[in-house]
Amino acid sequence: MRRGSVGARRTGRATVESTARFTWNRSHRVQDQSPDLAANEPDPWDGDPRLPEFFADAWVAVRTFRDYLVEEGELRGLIGPREIPRLWERHLLNSAAVVPYLPQTGVVVDVGSGAGLPGIVVAAMLPDAEVVLVEPMERRVAWLNDVVARCALPNVEVRRARAQELDGAIEADAVTARAVAALDKLYRWTAPLVRDGGTVVAMKGARAEDELAAAAKAMRAVGLVDGRVHEAVTIPGTEPTRVVTAVRRVRGVR
């Protein structure tokens, strides 16, 4: 696999970053404040012209993914019925919020991919990256392979495994995770998969700062530094997503 480059920061402080906004133009569940819509209500984002503008070249793949989730997601036990009318904001735009914190090229590993959030969205928006979706459950692996084929994503590989089983088998430029585990556990599972200078990027909820502080010992143990909480906004007016980043320390550098 190709290797990308992610700049490594070497401070140990946990800080809260200012709101991140998107500047590029390319030719499991997270706490939020979205309304509790009934299962039979339409998604208020359906037909919104800001969606194709935001997703740009990824639009066709992301829309295809969303339509497949509506068609099969509940039947296959991937999403609850109340998630269908809020797929765009709560799941797809929410997943897109991690993209500014990932390398444009190189290897990105999404652990605990489940329904494909954020991994499928990441793969659609970063076509020059190699995206590995890691999922232990057979039925979800089958779903992910179906999605990859339906969305025509040649940059995706699906692996049936747990993150802990891939130590030594993958060297990623970045690892993503959404609603997989508390940060202390997540860092122990994912840091061994990240190259020196690479990044672990986790999507978290309102208590992200507390969770990051509680993970300080685990970070030191696995060689992660520069833990930060970012407020990431995709389309103005949507709820920001809390994205937590940590960098794998370059060994031999203090």
pLDDT at 251: 74
pLDDT at 74: 93
pLDDT at res. 253: 59
From CA 15, how far away is CA 227, in angstroms rounded? 7
pLDDT, tens only, 108-160? 999 999 999 999 999 999 999 999 999 999 999 999 999 999 999 999 999 99
Q: Are strands 241-248 and 194-204 parallel, antiparallel or unpaired?
A: antiparallel
pLDDT at 24: 35
- For the chain, which residues score pLDDT lower than 70? 1-40, 252-254
**Calculated CA dihedral for residues 63, 131, 202, 73, nearest 10 degrees:** 40
26 neighbors 56 (Cβ within 8 angstroms): yes
Q: Please name which of 139, 12, 169 lies closest in space to residue 73, comparing C-alpha atoms.
A: 139
Domains and CATH numbers, the chain: 15-248 (3.40.50.150)
Predicted pLDDT at 19: 42
What is the SS3 assignment for 36? coil
